[in-house]
Amino acid sequence: MRVALPLLFLPLLWFLFPATGAAAEGIQPLNSEAIVEELVVSGDSTLQERLGSAGSISVLGADEITAIGATHINEALARVPGVWVARGSGQENLTAIRSAVFTGAGACGEFLYLEDGIPIRPAGFCNINNLFEVNSEMAERIEVWRGPASAVLGGNALHGAVNVLTAVPEGKQLTIEGGPYDYYRVRGQMDIDLNQHRLGISVQSASTNGYRDDTGYGQQKLSVVDLVEVGEWQVKNTLNATLLNQETGGYVYGLDAYKSGSLRRTNPNPEAYRDAWSLRLASHWRRGALSVTPYFRRSAMEFLQHFIPGEPVEDNDQSSTGVILSYDISQGDLTMTVGSQVEYMQGGLKEYQPEPLTDSSAFNNAVRPQGLHYHYDVDSLLVAGSYDLDWKFRDEWSLLHSLRAEWLGYDYNNKTLDGNTRDDGTTCGFGGCLYNRPGDRDDEFFNVSGRLGVQRRFQDIGSAYLILATGFRAPQATELYRLQRGQDVADLKSEKLLSAELGYKSGRWSAAAFIERQKHFIFRDAAGLNVSNGKTRSKGVELSVNQGWNSHALALAVSYAKHRYDFDGGASGGEVIVDGNYIDTAPRWLGNARWHWFPTAQVESEVEVVFVGEHEINAANTAEYDGHVVFNWRGSYALSERASLFARVINVLDKSYADRADFTVFNPLNYRYFPAMPRQLYLGATLAF
């Protein structure tokens, strides 16, 4: 069954939601570390206001987001040093921020994704592909914070955070574009003045048949903003909704299979699909020093787990609501904000295998039965309190300190048989069925995170800083309650990360060096149990440069980092982890360089080079991917003040490379890849009314 959401009726929900408003300032140009001093949206919506100017934050402004014209979020975030969003099939994605690309049931909890400063998912019920649930293609700006931010933003901001700010459009604009493999996209924006209200609407619809066989998708996104003053309150209401219907492609197998013309367009799993929708409402109220932000979220997803023998179908959904409060108690040289958050969630998950497994090993055929594997509901409650201060204790010196205490409780209710029998109560062979369902239980986690730093400003030439910070994430519901035989209770601890960062920022460049230690890393061990006894260590440097002269501008974002395991052990799938091994799917080098050229007032041209370095693709470090260098070009021509044409050529040199490489012991060919698309030409036009 496919998920359906009538997007055309979503604006009607707006009239059921209280009106609000907040001021917005000008749009920023090319991405630059230097623009962290420029605040675009007032209140708690922006990370750079909440986290301060010290630390590593990058911002993509509206003009740059539009010029990128991303068909996938990885095209935009490739411009941020230390960040790699590995592209999967269709709109699927896996994120790395000063880290490896994590996989597994709770890997999505390693990063925090926000919209207007509000997490887009409940703390314990995230989705590893969460970034396709935000309207990043039409955002006012995208902020990326690198390094732990839990002391300010809360759990899941372990390695970093991505914040997408909803656009407040001015005027009316329509954009139409087309590309290869029947790719079409229509985007529209408009603003409406209604008495004291200013409404902004951004909507887009995209579809493609896909480069590979049976990998097409249709995707729609809607954003609505209402700005108004209510008495002494500045209010901003937002509604964001997304819909994705995707035919999913699986890995192609064999060493360097992504280079094979006969393999790279094939799809071993033409039956796979992913259907998902999301809806989020928020109301930002601000009066003087007080900010109050209630919010509501709803999402559901159904997809075929083509990567698991038996291909069970997962169906999950969540409804959540909460409120974030903050109050500014600044005095004199002390800037200080205290805040709190309360959030409640009702979620559920069901996994069902429609057909018996008959074509795998005797063991798999026996322990992966047809029928219901998991069916549970889980309620969660989050309560948190925090403060942030910036104390200017000398003319050019500031002390930074943040602290957050957070309690997260789960109430889990198993809706089928406890244990690891079939859904009719009969026992599987080979010692019992693989899937194990815990009995009803409650779990709770309490975490405290801090940030302490010092910043030295050097008048007009920049500033230097040193920051110690901790991050945390509580176990996700899937890690606690989606168990395998031999484990009736997952006794997991919250992951913790300690970071030290030294950095410098000036008007046109910034540099940072960091060291990180992570403990209680959660993974599935060799026995198939969910455990939290892993450790990792990381160190690296990042550099961002933006320099312009006359009609030219150069930009560079580059990072070099080593991410290693810090323990010995075994992982599922026969992986052997040795202390000191590189974490798999963690490139040492990541880079992005751009040359922007304005030969006339009507013409713009940008040449981009994206570099992903070689990296290991298994924990034993016996297999690796060589990395790749890809060239892109983007250009536009203004026909008039109201009409322009644009073009993009992605992968100009038609290089054969992999969006993601992996290694598995479950297939005799071992190596597996998501082949990247060859050269692509996109053409379009924008009309302003």
- Let me know: does 240 contact 29? Beta carbons within 8 Å: no
Three-state secondary structure call for residue 573: helix
Contact between 670 and 663 under an 8 Å Cβ cutoff? The reply is yes
Q: Which of 101-105, 130-134, 678-682 has the lowest mean pLDDT?
A: 101-105
Residue-wise pLDDT tens digits, 356-405: 999 999 999 999 999 999 999 999 999 999 999 999 999 899 999 999 99
pTM summary value: 0.92
The pair of three-digit structure tokens given for residue 197, joined into one six-digit string? 């209200």
Average pLDDT of the chain, as a whole number: 92
Question: Of residues 608 and 45, which shows the higher confidence score?
Answer: 608
Query: Tokens 């029998």 correspond to what residue?
Result: 421
Q: Are 309 and 364 in contact (CB under 8 A)?
A: yes
SS3 label, residue 291: strand
Q: What is the mean pLDDT of residues 27-40?
A: 34
Query: Whole-angstrom distance between the N-terminal and C-terminal Cα of the chain?
Result: 41
Question: Which amino acid, one-letter code, is at 483?
Answer: L
Using pLDDT thresholds of 50, 70 and 90, give the confidence band for residue 460: confident
pLDDT at 286 > cutoff 50: yes
Contact 61, 31 (CB under 8 A): yes
What digits encode the pLDDT tens for the residues 407-457?
999 999 999 999 999 999 999 999 999 999 999 999 999 999 999 999 999
Residue with structure tokens 């200080």? 336
Show the 3-state SS of 300-367: EEEEECCCCCCCCEEEEEEEEEEEEEEEECCECCEEEEEEEEEEEEEEEEEEEECCCCCCCCHHHHHH
Give the Cα separation of 379 and 122 in Å (integer). 10
Residue-level pLDDT at 49? 84
| Tokens 């209770």, located at residue | 489
Task: Check whether 24 has a pLDDT greater than 90.
Answer: no
Q: How far is 583 from 565, CA to CA, in rounded Å?
A: 6
Checking if the pLDDT of 507 tops 90, the result is no
Specify the range with the lowest mean pLDDT, choosing from 7-11, 70-74, 563-567, 650-654.
7-11
Domains of the chain: 7-688 (2.40.170.20)
- Mean pLDDT lowest for which of 14-23, 52-61, 146-155? 14-23
Residue 476 and residue 481: Cα distance in Å, rounded? Answer: 9
Does the pLDDT of residue 2 top 50, yes or no?
no
Name the band, by pLDDT with cuts 50, 70 and 90, for residue 33: very low
Bridge partners, residue 342, by sequence: 323, 383
Question: What was the pLDDT predicted at 28?
Answer: 33
pLDDT at position 43 is: 53
* Number of residues that this document lists for the chain: 689
Look at residue 41 and tell me whether its pLDDT is greater than 50: no
State the DSSP code for 154: -
